[in-house]
Each structure stands twice: as structure tokens, then as C-alpha cells.
């Protein structure tokens, strides 16, 4: 309730004060992407956060097999040769020393089992839908994109509608594509005289995909390993949901259903061996519309929504999204020439986050565009993927994903206490699948900065709701999170202080785990997180365990070398010039910027440290969220011009449709780059706790910044 009221209020408030509200529709529409040729790297996309459809320039996947992916479509590959499920379930990995006791970690051990567990389950590309060009006698023509003329494609961001127009054989073709918002359905409307001449149809195809490589980009799966998987077609009047046709696609033991409805058609399999099906409109008219709906077998749609209702749902949901949630206008009235590009990045990131990053579990780095790390997701990246939803007041979308902390709590308690032998708490995983299982790997098992994230999300939710229900809802997650943070901190008898690590990995994943002790960023985040947990219990009228406070107050001090914070205590003093340590995420700048001021973090030293990062880090090797993290540091330090420069750094790019370019390190898209941009923009435009000026992260001249329904950052 609250966020909606806040939105309405902040839209009305300017009227009361005599200012007019932001013309949101005009600003959003200004950045509608257009194309006249397919990009070989990125699709134009429609979707709903759980499901997304990537299209080439025809509005479908006619020429390029961009993916159709979801938060629910996963499969397991066959077990490694000679291995049984018992081998999988009994996998144990190695034992490493943790301050005098052996701890079980899931890496090493039987290599084939380790590899299988890392790559399974993997995320499935649900299929492909393309235009079929025919000779009039029902024979398929071999048409390529270069055979089309006067191609124009536009994505209407305000309504989530993609329209492609072109000529083929001198005849005009218009394809309109929309995504349902309450099911995994795509609605397709085709308008062309070629239909009347029976020269146009639609095809469906189904790829084989497996966990044989970490990254599957730009395309997921292959269409020529047809003997590895099966499809079967059913047609007739008795199909669920009123579908005219249904294709069951089975990969190993997982089956996915494609239900097709809409205008009357006939459908046939192209050849018995392939998984390609041709759809021919039954009526010789100028228009043909179709709905293609993807689901699991026991979750087939009650009705395959007709194109018209899919389109209406899309228009209504997107209009509501743009109208009701937070909005930032840095473009109107700004004289700075960079404002237009920054606004473009904001609008396109808002769109793509809602398409790719609002599912039941945390998104993968590549969202629903293609697969990275087998389609799995990284719990430490949750902050960069999803934190912005809180500041832009999209609680309905954030809420979809937050349930994972509740669902994964039991297995995270098991991990901490049973597998690793800690006295209490829940240890959150890093690389994870929808069941909450941690993928084997030393970094996956030894990273720790994912641990405090739920405390921050809960805090934002409470700030928005101020409700007892929120306090109670998060109570167990908060307790178990803080309990493990407390149990992991190890009392060093000789200093009387609590140490973090070893073994552990830092944010940048580039230090040796057995010698990594007391890293600056993690110490600060631990202290901050434990403070949030204590406050939570106080709000509930409960007494926080005294051990939390003991650890918080007695954590080892942040390591200082030559008057600057160091990555960890005891790191080589020349680390500022050592390529080992200056080529990855510069998390030291997060000490004040990403994190708010924290007791025990000296802001003078943090600033000097950030300055040192600016001059010594190998910025040419930075990527994605590094740039917004640097901008947030600059903004809190009052260096607003520098903050803008970081957000527009030449190594931090968004392509013509807004896809965050991976850059030197990872494939495109790399969505933490988009989420972190929106988090930084919110902070710079709306401010943070204790900021007093309007748009405190923007330079005072050249920029006219207006916000509506935004929240301050911590």
C-alpha cells in the first residue's frame, strides 16, 4: 500500500506546490529503441521478469536464435558415465583448517561429480519462433535477412510492444510482438498481404542445450543435435487451455510444454528427425495472430490467452510500471550534453531490469538473455541486481525475489551447522540453483560478502512499510544471518579481537584464501550488518543476543598501511602496484559510498584510500558495477563531476537497446551493470541518509534533476 500512496502523493505534491509533474511518457518514449538490422550480439526483448523473449529484427527469432528463457525452466544433464545418484548425493569435497578444526567445503573430491554438480541443473532455452516464407505452394523458401527491404523495428517502452515492419517480395509485412505479464506467453500479430497469398507462416523450433560450457552467449543451445532430445506434437480439440496444438519437449528427464493458440492454423513437423514445426494460417486473410505459451507439464495455462488480451495486459502493466514507481528526470532542462545519454541509460535499464530481473530467484548476470554460469545465479550479486528496486519503490517486483531468503534458510542452516560445523546460524551460498544448492567451487564456498545482504534488503523494506508484519516476516532470516556472522568471527586470544578468515575470499576474489584475514570491506560490512540485526530485534521488542554486540564492538580494526586502508591485514605493502591485486573490483572504494558511514571506518582515511584507487587501480580492467560503485564513492565525497564521469566511463557501455556491455571481462549483457547504475542514480538524485542538498550527487551547474516517488539510500 505505502509505496503506491507515496507515488500518488509525490505525483500530486508538485501540483500543490505549483510545479507540474514530470512528463514521464514523453521521456520514456524518447528512448524507444529502433533498429533496421539485427544485432548479432543482443536481442530486442519483451518479457515480465519471470519470462523473456529475445527477438531479431523481424520481432521473432526468424534469422537468429535468440533465447526464450524463464526463472522456472531448468533441467539436469545425464549423470557422468559410471556415476549414480548416490555418488551425487554423497559428494563431500575437501576438508580445510578453520582455526584448528577441519571444515567440509564443497569443492575438490571426485572431479566428474564435482563438475556435474557445478553445471546442473542448467537453465533451458525454451524454444524459437520464426517467420516462415513460402512459395505459395506450401514450399519453404530459403530467405535471409538481406532479402528483406526497408526494415524498421521499434520497441515501445511505455507499452512493452515490439513492432517490426519490412518488405519481402515487394509486399509489406508488420509483426507485433508482446509478452503476457501473468504467464510465460508471447503474443504475435502478423499483418501482410503475403498471408492472403499463403506465402507466410510461422515456425517453432526447439534446441538441445546442456551444461557443457559455462557461458552460452549470444545463443543458448544448438538445433542440430536432434537425436539428443525429443519432441512430440498433439493437435485437436481436447488440449488443455483451448490450445490448438501442443509440443512436448523432453531433454533427458525434463519436459517443457509449448501450447499454441490463436487464429485457426494447421501445423506439421518438418521432418521426423528434426524438432521444427511449421504453422500455416487456415484463413487466407491479411492478418494472423498467435499466442505461444511455455510451461511445465503440470502447469499448463488454463487458457492460452489470445493475442488481444496478451497485448492489453502488456499495455496496462507497463503503463502502471512507468506511472506509479519512482522516476528520475535528469534530461529536461539540463544543459550538460551528457544528460541525454545518462537519461537513455536510465530508461532502458529500468525497462530491461523489469524484463530480466524480477523472478522467483535472483537473476543470473545475463538475466534471461542468455546463459552464464549454466544459468545459475550469484547470491553476492543480489545487491547489485536488485537493490535499486527498493529505491525506485518497486516493492511488488523486489518482493518476488526476496522469498528466496526464506526458502533457502533451511539449507543454509544445514550448510553452516551440519556441513561446516559452525555453532549457529545460516551461511548463504554464492553460486546457487533454484533449490538453494551451492555449486561446488573454492570461491563459491569461501566468499562471504553475500552474507549481510538480506539485512540491507530487510532494512529497506522496513523503511518503506514501517510495519510489524515486515519485522516478523524477516525475523528468522535476520537472526540466522547474524548468528552465522557471529559464529564465523573468530576470537583471536592474543589481540582480544574477532578476526574474519582465513580461509575466505574477498569481494575481488583475487587473494589467497588461506592467508586472507581481516579484509577492510568485509569487516566494515560485518559491523554494519550486525548493527542492523541488533536494531531489528530491538524494534521487535526483543533482546538481541549479546554475542552479536560483542563481535560487532570487538571486530579487528580495519587494516591500515601507510595511512590507507588495505585490502586485508598483512597483504604485501606494495599491493597498490601489484597486478595481482589491482585488476579486479576495487571494493576499497565501497567503504564509504556503497556503504554509509560506519563506526570504525575513518572517513578521512576512506577518502584518501579512494583517491589512491583512482590513481593506481587498473581501471581499464574494471567492468559493470565497478563504475557505479566508484560513482557512489565520488558522490558521497562531494566529487560530483567525477561521479558523472564514472557513470559515463568509455569502458562502461550500454548498446542501442540498452544492454549493458560486458566489456573486457564478461559476455554481454552483464546486468549488474544496469542494476548498479539505477542504484547509483537513485542515490545521486534523491540523496542518502544525512544528505541535505537537492540531487547531492549531481554537479550544481548544467544539471536539472527532478525525482518522483524515489527513496533515499542508506
Ligand X SMILES: *[C@@H]1O[C@H](CO)[C@@H](O)[C@H](O)[C@H]1NC(C)=O
Question: Which residues sit at the interface with ligand X, rule CB under 6 A?
Answer: 36, 74-76, 78-79, 88, 96-97, 120-121, 142, 144, 210, 222, 224-225, 227-228, 252-254, 264, 282-283, 399, 402-403, 435, 473, 492, 494-495, 512-514, 563, 569, 579, 583, 602, 604-605, 618, 620-621, 664
Task: Return the number of the residue (563 or 690) whose C-beta is nearest ligand X.
Answer: 563
- Min dist. Cβ of residue 19 to ligand X (A): 33
Nearest approach, Cβ of residue 34 and ligand X (Å) = 7
State how far the Cα of 312 lies from the Cα of 545, in Å rounded to an integer: 52
Backbone phi, psi, residue 491, to 5°: -70, 115
Which CB, 224 or 692, lies closer to ligand X? 224
Least distance between ligand X and beta carbon 694 (Å): 29
Report DSSP letters for 542-601, one per residue.
Answer: -PPPHHHHHHHHHBPPPPEETTEE-SBTT--TTGGG-TTTSSS--GGGGGTTTS---TT-
When the beta carbons of 395 and 698 are compared against ligand X, the nearer one is: 395
Q: Which residue, 224 or 298, is less far from ligand X as judged by CB?
A: 224
Q: Which is nearer to ligand X, 23 or 95 (CB)?
A: 95
Closest CB to ligand X among residues 230, 283: 283
Cβ pair 672, 363 in contact under 8 A = no
Whole-number Cα distances in Å, 666 to 120, 215, 495, 654, 672: 21, 9, 42, 14, 11
Q: Which is nearer to ligand X, 158 or 565 (CB)?
A: 565
Using the minimum distance from each CB to ligand X, give the nearer residue, 137 or 146.
146
Phi-psi region of 454 (alpha: psi -120 to 50; beta: other; left: phi over 0): alpha
CB of 698 to ligand X, least distance (A): 28
DSSP per residue, 298-363: GG--SS---HHHHHHHHHHHHHHHHHHS-EEE-STT---TTHHHHHHHHHHHHHHHHHHS-SSSPP
| Cis preceding linkage at 121, omega within 30 | yes
Distance CA(183)–CA(5), nearest Å, equals: 27
Shortest separation between residue 150's beta carbon and ligand X, angstroms: 8
Closest approach, Cβ 377 to ligand X, in A, equals 15
Triad 117, 294, 363: Cα angle to 5°: 45
| Smallest separation, CB 511 to ligand X (Å) | 10
Closest distance between ligand X and the C-beta of residue 26, in Å? 22
692: Cβ contacts below 8 Å, ≥ 6 apart: none
CA-based nearest residue to 54, from 179, 239, 230: 179
CA distances from 90 to 94, 117, 413 (A): 13, 11, 19
Residue number, 83 or 338, with CB nearest to ligand X: 83
| Least CB distance to ligand X at residue 65 (A) | 8
Amino acid at each position: 500500500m505505502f509505496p503506491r500512496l507515496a507515488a500518488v502523493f509525490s505525483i500530486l505534491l508538485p501540483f500543490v506546490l505549483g510545479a507540474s509533474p514530470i512528463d514521464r511518457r514523453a521521456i520514456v518514449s524518447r528512448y524507444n529503441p529502433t533498429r533496421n538490422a539485427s544485432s548479432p550480439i543482443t536481442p530486442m526483448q519483451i518479457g515480465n521478469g519471470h519470462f523473456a523473449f529475445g527477438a531479431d529484427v523481424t520481432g521473432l527469432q526468424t534469422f537468429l536464435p535468440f533465447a526464450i528463457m524463464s526463472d522456472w525452466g531448468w533441467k539436469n544433464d545425464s549423470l557422468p558415465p559410471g556415476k549414480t545418484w548416490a555418488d551425487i548425493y554423497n559428494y563431500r569435497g575437501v576438508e580445510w583448517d578453520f582455526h584448528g578444526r577441519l571444515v567440509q567445503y564443497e569443492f575438490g573430491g571426485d572431479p566428474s561429480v564435482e563438475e556435474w554438480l557445478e553445471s546442473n541443473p542448467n537453465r533451458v532455452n525454451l524454444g524459437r519462433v520464426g517467420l516462415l516464407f513460402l512459395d505459395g505452394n506450401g514450399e519453404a523458401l530459403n530467405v535471409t535477412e538481406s532479402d528483406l527491404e526497408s526494415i524498421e523495428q521499434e520497441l515501445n517502452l511505455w507499452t512493452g510492444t515490439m513492432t517490426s515492419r519490412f518488405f519481402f517480395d515487394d509486399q509489406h509485412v508488420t509483426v507485433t510482438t508482446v509478452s503476457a505479464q501473468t504467464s510465460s506467453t508471447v503474443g504475435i500479430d502478423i499483418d501482410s498481404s503475403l498471408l492472403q497469398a499463403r506465402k507466410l507462416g510461422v515456425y517453432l523450433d526447439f534446441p538441445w542445450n546442456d551444461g557443457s560450457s559455462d557461458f552460452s552467449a549470444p545463443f543458448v543451445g544448438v538445433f542440430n543435435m536432434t537425436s539428443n532430445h525429443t519432441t512430440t506434437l498433439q493437435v485437436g480439440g481436447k488440449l488443455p487451455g483451448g490450445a490448438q496444438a501442443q509440443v512436448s519437449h523432453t531433454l533427458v528427464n525434463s519436459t517443457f510444454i509449448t501450447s499454441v493458440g490463436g487464429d485457426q492454423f494447421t501445423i506439421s513437423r518438418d521432418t521426423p528427425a528434426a524438432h521444427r514445426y511449421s504453422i500455416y494460417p487456415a484463413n487466407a486473410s491479411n492478418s494472423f495472430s498467435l499466442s505461444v505459451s511455455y510451461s511445465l507439464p503440470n502447469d499448463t495455462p488454463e487458457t492460452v490467452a489470445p493475442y488481444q488480451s496478451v497485448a492489453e495486459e502488456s499495455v496496462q502493466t507497463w503503463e502502471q510500471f512507468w506511472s506509479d514507481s519512482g522516476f528520475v528526470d535528469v534530461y529536461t532542462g539540463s544543459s550538460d550534453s551528457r544528460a541525454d545519454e545518462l537519461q537513455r541509460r536510465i530508461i532502458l535499464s529500468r525497462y530491461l531490469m523489469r524484463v530480466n530481473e524480477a523472478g522467483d530467484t535472483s537473476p543470473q548476470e545475463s538475466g534471461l538473455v542468455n546463459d552464464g554460469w549454466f544459468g545459475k545465479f550469484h547470491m553476492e550479486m543480489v545487491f547489485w541486481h536488485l537493490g535499486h528496486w527498493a529505491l525506485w519503490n518497486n516493492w511488488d517486483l523486489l518482493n518476488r525475489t526476496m522469498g528466496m531468503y526464506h526458502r533457502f534458510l533451511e539449507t543454509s542452516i544445514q550448510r553452516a551447522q551440519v556441513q561446516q560445523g559452525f555453532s549457529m546460524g545460516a551461511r548463504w551460498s554464492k553460486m546457487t540453483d533454484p533449490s538453494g544448492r551451492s555449486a561446488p567451487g573454492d570461491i563459491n564456498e569461501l566468499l562471504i560478502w553475500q552474507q549481510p545482504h538480506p539485512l540491507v534488503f530487510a532494512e529497506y523494506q522496513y523503511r518503506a512499510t514501517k510495519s510489524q508484519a515486515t519485522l516478523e516476516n524477516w525475523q528468522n532470516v535476520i537472526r540466522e544471518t547474524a548468528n552465522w556472522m557471529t559464529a564465523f568471527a573468530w576470537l583471536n586470544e592474543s589481540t582480544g579481537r574477532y578476526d574474519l578468515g582465513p580461509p575466505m575470499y574477498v569481494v575481488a576474489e583475487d587473494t589467497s584464501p588461506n592467508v586472507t584475514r581481516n579484509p577492510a570491506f568485509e569487516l566494515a560490512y560485518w559491523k554494519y550488518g550486525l548493527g542492523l540485526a541488533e536494531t531489528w530485534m530491538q524494534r521487535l521488542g526483543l533482546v538481541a543476543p549479546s554475542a552479536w554486540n560483542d563481535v560487532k564492538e570487538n571486530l579487528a580494526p580495519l587494516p591500515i598501511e601507510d595511512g590507507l586502508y588495505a585490502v586485508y591485514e598483512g597483504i604485501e605493502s606494495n599491493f597498490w602496484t601489484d597486478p595481482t591485486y589491482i585488476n579486479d573490483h576495487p571494493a576499497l572504494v565501497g567503504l564509504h559510498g556503497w556503504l554509509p558511514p560506519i563506526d570504525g571506518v575513518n572517513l578521512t582515511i576512506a577518502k584518501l584510500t579512494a583517491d589512491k584507487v583512482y590513481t593506481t587501480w587498473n581501471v581499464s580492467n574494471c567492468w559493470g558495477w565497478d563504475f557505479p560503485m566508484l560513482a557512489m564513492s565520488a558522490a558521497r565525497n562531494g566529487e560530483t563531476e567525477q561521479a558523472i564521469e564514472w557513470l559515463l566511463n568509455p569502458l562502461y557501455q550500454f548498446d542501442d537497446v540498452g544492454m549493458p556491455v560486458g566489456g573486457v571481462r564478461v559476455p554481454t549483457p552483464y546486468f549488474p551493470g544496469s542494476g548498479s547504475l539505477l542504484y547509483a542514480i537513485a542515490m545521486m538524485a534523491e540523496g542518502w541518509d544525512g544528505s541535505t542538498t537537492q540531487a547531492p550527487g549531481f554537479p550544481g551547474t548544467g544539471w536539472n534533476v527532478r525525482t518522483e516517488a524515489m527513496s533515499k539510500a542508506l
